[in-house]
Amino acid sequence: MQKIRTTVKIAGKDYTISSYDDEAYVQRVAAYVDRRMEELNAATRLPSAQLAVLTAINVTDDMLKAHDEIRRLREEVNTLREENQALKREAGLK
């Protein structure tokens, strides 16, 4: 598989990203980062290096919360499956 080079714009600057993901996905990721940087810049007015670090922290926070929610939902699905199987056994169903 060959890497795809995609040019994106983040915080008004062009970056060339080399990735195995398709261009649309890379653009989506860049748009998310750009939007988060714009939001934080409007709220804080930090120098660009500090803004980049704060954005990385916020994006990582989003990711970890999403991972936690996925884990919670998987556990809930497993519990519901077990309850469903128990109810089927009680009803004499397989």
Condensed to tens digits (0 to 9), the pLDDT of residues 33-70 reads 999 999 999 999 899 999 999 999 999 999 999 999 99
Write the pLDDT tens digit of every residue in 63-82: 999 999 999 999 999 999 99
Across-strand partners of 15? 8
The C-alpha atoms of residue 94 and residue 83 are separated, in whole angstroms, by 13
The C-alpha atoms of residue 74 and residue 55 are separated, in whole angstroms, by 29
Across-strand partners of 20? none
Phi and psi torsions of 14, nearest 5°: -85, 135
Predicted TM-score of the model (pTM): 0.80
